[in-house]
Every structure is written in C-alpha cells, then in structure tokens.
Homo-oligomer: A and B are copies of this chain.
Amino acid sequence: MSEYTGYNGNSLDFLKKNKILVGDSVKILGDITYSGIVMPRYEHSDDKHIVLKLKSGYNIGLEINKIKKIEKNPSIEKNIEKNQKIEKSSDLPNILLLSTGGTIASKIDYRTGAVTPVLTAEELNSSVPELGKIANIDTKVLFSEYSENIMPEHWLKIAETVKEYSKSDYSGIIIAHGTDTMHYTSSYLSFSLAGFPIPIVLVGSQRSSDRASSDAALNLIGAVKFLTESKTNGVYIGMHQDENDETIACHIGTRVRKNHTSKRGAFQTVGNVPAFLIVNNKIHKNIEKKFFTTDEFEPKIKINEKVALVKYHPGYNPDLLKNIIDSGYKAIIFEGTGLGHIGENMYPIVKMANEKEIFMGMTSQCIDGRVRMTVYESGRDLLNLGIIPLENMIPEIAVVKAMWVTGNTEKYDEIKENMLKQIASEFTT
C-alpha cells in the first residue's frame, strides 16, 4: 500500500510537492480554513480533489486549485490512531453495536490506506465523536462480509447473538450492515426475533467513509438517537431520508426496499412514510401501531432455504418452474404482474406444484399496492389452482418470510396460516 493511496495525477503531485502523506493531520488555507486528516481515496477517483476528515468526523472534498496553503499540524498528528480508552458515563444510555461488515463497518488505516473491516468501540468513537456524548457504545464484530455475500447462515448468527440481549441493560442494538441486502436481513430478524423487547436498527452507508459525501457518521448518530429516545421496539433500517444531511429515516424492517443503487436516500418504506424521522436530532413518530403482533419474546430462528422466487414475465418458460418443483422446493413466491397474475401457460405446472403441496404465494412485481386475485378471471383461476394471495407483502420480504415459516414447520396448512398471519408489520392495511 502506498502512502498516497488512491491519489493520482494532479492531486498526487500536489501532495508530494507539499510533503503530505495520507494519514497526516493538516491545516488547509483557502477561502475557508480547515483542519483534519488526509484520507485515502479509491482507485477511480478524479485527480482534482483531496479528501479531509474533519474533527467532527465528517469528510469533505477540497479542490486543490482553490487551496492557498497546506501545512502539517504536528500537535494533533494522527491522533485518531491512538485509540484512547473511552470512559463510560453512568448518565448515558448503553447501546450495543454489532458489526457484520459492509462500508459502514469499515475503517481505513490512515497510514496504509487499507480498508479494515474491524470496528472497535474506541475506533468508532474517535471517528464519530458525537456518539460518545449521547450513549455508551459497546461493539462486537460478528463477521465481516459485503452484504451481497450475506447468506441465511449469517442471519442465524446475528439472531443467535441478538437473542441473548433480550434482558440486558442496553437501550437498543445497532447492526452495522452492508446496504445491498440489509432489508432481507431486517426482515429475517423481524420474524425470528418477534417480540424482542428493545429496538434494533440496521445501519449502513451508501458512500464509503473516504468519500467527501459519506453518510456513515450521520446514519450512526441518527440510529443512536432513535434507539435511546423512540421508546419503541421492532427492527428498523436507519439511513438518510434523502440527499440532505438533516433527516435520518427509520423504516419498518419488513416494509422497506433499497430503491436506488447509489443515492444516500436509497431506502424507502413501500407505499408509506418512514415509521420515524430524526430531523435535526429531533424524533418524529409517524406510526402508532405496534411493530410486533406479540409481546412475548420467543425466538424462532430456524430457516429452510428451499424457497424460490419466480418473477413472471412474457416469455417465462414454465419448464423453469418445473425444475424448481423437481428440485424439492418447499415454497414458491411468485412476483406476478399487476394484481397478482401469471400467464395461463403456467397453469399445468402450478397445478402440479399444488398437488405436491408446495406452498405458492402471490406477490406483485409492481411492488406497491395489494394483490387482488378475485377481480379478473386469471386471478380466480390461480386461486383455484392453489396460489395464495399475500396481500401487500413486498416480494423480497415474502421470500424471507417463506424461508422462516418453512424452517419452523413442514405442514402445508401451518405454512399457509403463518404466511398470512401478521407477525412483524409485514402487511399494512
């Protein structure tokens, strides 16, 4: 690893000329004067900016053309690496932060530029100093995976850990998680840990912490505010509401999707406003309903992975569905069209699946709105063939629920009953 990681062309020349290395604490004079630590950048960055981590924990990008002077600030040099022990305050609430990987949980080694996925309490507090003022944070690293590599076995590990803290003195639990599949994980935890008494919030970041626009710090601060002040329980996803830094949204973990590949406000509650908003550090509650149907915490964490998601489209070949049936799947979630339809060329194979007592649930690829299979002849045909309309459950969440339901019972009638039973706010009226 170079001491100039990610810098190239003009910005590399600029650093070399001024004898500044990545990780150096510097003072920069321009229209405004900034003090902070020079951060590494990604390979594909432009060569016109350097990125500075300010004392507040936020990163900014500074155009080198506009820098009048840059000088090392020896007095606070690399202070972030000292990992000084943080004293707990008995006046503050306690929060547990579990780290699973993803951009949010990564820490950059300021000297080498390597991204290391391990986050200790001290490192966290020194990178986001506001956190220590609002809560005592204990951290635990569960594993370190990009979220596209999070598998049901990782869900199990998270649930196994979380369930041990149902009677702790924590006000809530943060799960730092990659954003790609965060809503799948939040759904699984919502079902498997139904009734869990303290709030859980999954937090990620859309921009890595070496980018000027990183959302990591503010998402974490918002999450801690939410956990310590919301007086609720349930499983949520806490992320930027939109492109501005004023509002963090906490979405119900079974009603949320990642709806944009890169925007900071990528996560949205489907068909509704987020359950909670943290606007300029004040909490706004948008829902009155209880998150869990049950108040008893009886974890059921088993999973069966033999669940298939079938997204229907014109030209979908029913033989693919037959392959799924022949492979021993226990449940099929259709992403049908419109109100919950698939083409009539699917009927013979659907009939076969029904005869084998494979659970078939219908959701809509429209994502928003409710399936209604009684309106058109096609829907009524599919009902007669044994497909169960899953109301307005989001397709991705229905897949997770089916894995969880079929993991906990093998009986068709119980599977059907549990798929339709409200457990963790997965249906809305």
Cα A336 to Cα B257 in complex, Å, equals 14
Q: Is the CB of A259 within 8 A of B151?
A: no
Contact of A308 among B185, B260, B320, B371 (CB under 8 A): B320
How many copies, total? 2
Q: Is the CB of A337 within 8 A of B372?
A: no
- Contacts A152-B314, A260-B366, A261-B372 known; list 20 others, CB within 8 Å: A42-B375, A146-B341, A146-B376, A148-B338, A148-B342, A148-B344, A149-B343, A180-B341, A259-B366, A259-B367, A259-B368, A260-B368, A261-B339, A261-B340, A261-B370, A262-B370, A262-B372, A309-B313, A315-B399, A320-B324
- The verdict on A327 contacting chain B, using a C-beta distance below 8 Å, is yes
Measured between beta carbons, the chain B residues less than 8 angstroms from A320 are 308, 323-324, 327
Q: Is the CB of A151 within 8 A of B369?
A: no
Q: Is the CB of A146 within 8 A of B314?
A: no
| 12 contacts across the A-B interface (CB closer than 8 A) | A44-B375, A147-B338, A148-B378, A179-B338, A258-B337, A261-B338, A261-B370, A263-B369, A308-B320, A314-B400, A315-B399, A320-B327
Measured between beta carbons, the chain B residues less than 8 angstroms from A149 are 343-345, 378
> How many residues of chain A get a CB closer than 8 Å to chain B's CBs?
70
Cα A427 to Cα B367 in complex, Å, equals 22
Cα A148 to Cα B380 in complex, Å, equals 13
Measured between beta carbons, the chain B residues less than 8 angstroms from A146 are 341, 376-378
User: Which residues of A are in contact with B by a Cβ distance under 8 Å?
Assistant: 42, 44, 146-152, 154-155, 179-181, 184-185, 257-263, 266, 303, 305, 307-309, 311-317, 319-320, 323-324, 327, 335-345, 364-372, 374-378, 396, 399-400, 403
Measured between beta carbons, the chain B residues less than 8 angstroms from A185 are 314
**Given A148-B337, A148-B338, A151-B343: A261 in contact with B324 (beta carbons within 8 A):** no
Measured between beta carbons, the chain B residues less than 8 angstroms from A148 are 312, 336-338, 341-344, 378
Cα A354 to Cα B371 in complex, Å, equals 38
